[in-house]
Amino acid sequence: MRVAFVGKGGAGKSSIAGTFSRLLARRGERVLAIDSDPMPGLAFSLGVDRSDAGIPDVAIEECVIDGRNTFRLRSGLSAEEAVLRYADVGPDGVLLLQLGKARGVRGENAGSHQAFQHVVEGVPDHGWSIVGDLPAGTRQPFFGWGRFARTVVVVVEPTPASLLSGRRLARLAGMPSAPRLVAVASKTRSLGDAELVRDGTGLPVIGTVPFDTSVSDGDREGAALLDQTPKAAAVAAIDELVSTLINEEEQP
């Protein structure tokens, strides 16, 4: 499985992505969770001690590609080896690879960022499931860190601003290189909220995650939802989302 979560800031995508990763791992999958947002989020929802480190300089080399100077993983170091060497090990065996914090005005972490992209795109399909937490915005699922994904899940609250973000992403779904784009209705309070998200974005809604104070309580304490309240309604809903995406992948 290669799935990425995106959405307006505050919609709940990091909480869903982290919980999704751990529940997927509990089903026997070898899961790599990737956080391409320089702002913290996924580590907390996974229950990993927060780290701002990206790909270390020792794993990177400068090179020339198509006449321009750039960076790549050090020669002889495969993407899979880089994951096993530099990713953090989280609960349920989930591996977490982070883009790393922004440093300086521009260019100071270009090598780490280029190497991160090479790792994400180079991890073999066989034997790995990748779950990504993308930065907010319309560019990332199609032109940036989300290129690895076969399915992009837009996390949408039933609010005007979040619905507008979902619509803007949906307009890009017709691009020839676009992944499959679906929506999850987040922080729902009524049965009609999923229909509101569907009609407001034009995207198929494959799951709903109800408004749950356990999520905000965990955010305040910096604790993973699965560790804080494992029987929360939101956890059950995300587990159902895992089942939905697994079943869709298994269909011919």
CB 239 within 8 A of CB 23: yes
Q: How many CB atoms lie within 10 A of CB 220?
A: 8
Block residue for tokens 């320089």: 38
Quote the tokens at residue 167. 């619509």
Global pTM reads: 0.91
Quote the tokens at residue 162. 């979040």
Give the whole-number percent of the chain exceeding pLDDT 90. Answer: 51
**Tally of CA atoms within 13 A in the half-sphere of 204 that contains its CB:** 8
DSSP-derived pairing of the beta strands 68-73 and 60-65: antiparallel
CATH topology of domain 2-250: Rossmann fold (3.40.50)
Quote the tokens at residue 125. 């399909």
Give the whole-number percent of the chain exceeding pLDDT 70. Answer: 88
Query: Which strand (E) or helix (H) includes residue 210?
Result: strand 205-210
pLDDT surpassing 80 at residue 251: no
Could you read off the pLDDT of 3-37 as tens digits, one per residue? Answer: 999 988 888 999 999 999 999 999 999 999 999 87
**Mean pLDDT, range 168-185, rounded to an integer:** 83
Q: How many CB atoms lie within 10 A of CB 190?
A: 11
Residue-range domain boundaries for the chain: 2-250
The gap from C-alpha 205 to its chain's centroid, in whole angstroms, comes to 18
Closest CA to 208 of 229, 228, 183, 230: 183
DSSP state of 83: H
